[in-house]
Amino acid sequence: MKLMKIFTGMIIAVVVALSVSACAPTKTQEGTGGYFDDTVITAKVKSEFLKDNSLKSTEINVETFKGRVQLSGFVSSPQMANRAVSVARSVKGVTSVTNKMQIK
């Protein structure tokens, strides 16, 4: 009977350990806190694009993962692409900006 209690306790400990480790962020996935931080950064970048009259922000897509922003979509000139990158870099929380935009 004592052996059964020890075995049951070990099984419970293993299940708890596996459950906790499944909640931790990985290199390709992030925890919920990181997800919300990235959502806020994306919203701030888009907001800054809307404030800038020289950018057609509706044609620029913004994606954020762990503070790294990727810009994609279409712009009318290289200058507009550079401006979008500059605006995105100025947002607090952005660690880097990748430009995947295409010139129309």
Residue 37 lies in a domain: yes
Residue 22 lies in a domain: no
Expressed as residue numbers, the domain containing 73 is: 31-103
Residue 93 lies in a domain: yes
Q: Which residues pair with 100 in a beta bridge?
A: 72
User: How many separate domains does the chain show?
Assistant: 1
Q: What does the pLDDT read at residue 82?
A: 96
Residue 16 lies in a domain: no
Region 82-86: mean pLDDT is 96
Residue 65 lies in a domain: yes
Residue 20 lies in a domain: no
Residue 4 lies in a domain: no
DSSP alpha helices (H): ranges in the chain? 2-22, 32-51, 78-89
Tens-digit pLDDT profile for residues 5-50: 665 656 666 666 666 555 555 555 555 555 568 999 999 999 999 9
pTM of the complete model: 0.67
- Give 75's contacts (C-beta < 8 A, 6+ positions apart): 55, 56, 59, 60, 81, 84, 101, 102, 103, 104
Give the three-class secondary structure for 2.
Answer: helix
- Residue 46: CATH number of its domain: 3.30.1340.30
Residue 62 above 90 pLDDT?
yes
